[in-house]
Structure 1
Amino acid sequence: MINKIKKNDKVIIISGKNKGKIGKVYKIISKSKVFIKGLNLFKKHQKPIPSINQIGGIFKKENYIHISNIIKFDKYHNKLNKKKLTLNKKY
């Protein structure tokens, strides 16, 4: 599979709890997981650590989304980019 999604690309989520939302990719890890700014948030419960002056509480963090659950968004035509990739086969 050819990965056409890069950092700072505008993408739309096609499955999951954030289906239909548009965001910008800001980090890619292991060629199959991406972080999208402001989407796929979860709550992290953090205990206070007084030795390093870290406060505790409930914080919102972004979780990764698998690359198969997103599609590149065409900013020029304001629509999805659903071009299919074909492999050149020699017969």
Structure 2
Amino acid sequence: MSSLKIKKGDMVKVIAGKDKDKEGKVIAVNVKNNTLLVEGINMVTKHAKPSMANQQGGILHQEGPIDISNVMLLHKGTPTRVGFKMDGDKKVRYAKKSGEVID
């Protein structure tokens, strides 16, 4: 399985869909479905029954998954495509716009 270009904790910008041009931090990445959860993006309502964890129950607002192709990584505030290159014997991500190593 190939490694994804976006990881948990990255800042991303939405480039397609109802939340276009919004930015947020990646909360979780689902490699199997190529989706991710981004803070404040694709908010959905969920109706929860009262339980031990949630005594009150009611309507919850939470992030829904967004396809990984609909976001772009932000590097120093600018959206950029991501590439991989070898830095010595280590594989690293780099921003294609500036050529700088991301991590």
Q: TM-score range by the shorter chain?
A: 0.7 to 0.9
Larger radius of gyration: 1
What 5-or-longer segments of structure 2 have no aligned partner? Answer: 85-103
Q: In structure 2, what is the Cα distance between the partners aligned to 1:6 and 1:47? A: 33
- Read off the aligned partner of 1:57 and give its amino acid letter: G
2:48 equivalent in structure 1: 46
- Read off the aligned partner of 1:81 and give its amino acid letter: T
TM-aligned CA deviation for residue 84 of structure 1: 6.8
Q: In structure 2, what is the Cα distance between the partners aligned to 1:59 and 1:19? A: 23
What 5-or-longer segments of structure 1 have no aligned partner? Answer: 86-91
TM-aligned CA deviation for residue 80 of structure 1: 1.2
Q: Describe how 1:40-79 pairs up with structure 2 within 5 A.
A: 40-48=42-50, 52=52, 54-75=55-76, 78-79=77-78
The C-alpha deviation readout for 1:12-59, integer Å capped at 9, x for no partner, is: 00111110001011211125111111211111122335xx47322111
Q: In structure 1, what is the Cα distance between the partners aligned to 2:27 and 2:35? A: 11
SS at match of 1:35: strand
Quote the sequence identity (%). Answer: 40
Moved over 4 A (4+): none
**TM-score normalised to the size of structure 2?**
0.66
State the structure with bigger RCO (CA 8 A, min sep 6), 1 or 2.
1
Does the Cα contact within 8 Å between 2:4 and 2:31 map onto a contact in 1? no
**TM-score normalised to the size of structure 1?**
0.74
Select the structure that is richer in strand.
Answer: 2
- Read off the aligned partner of 1:26 and give its amino acid letter: I
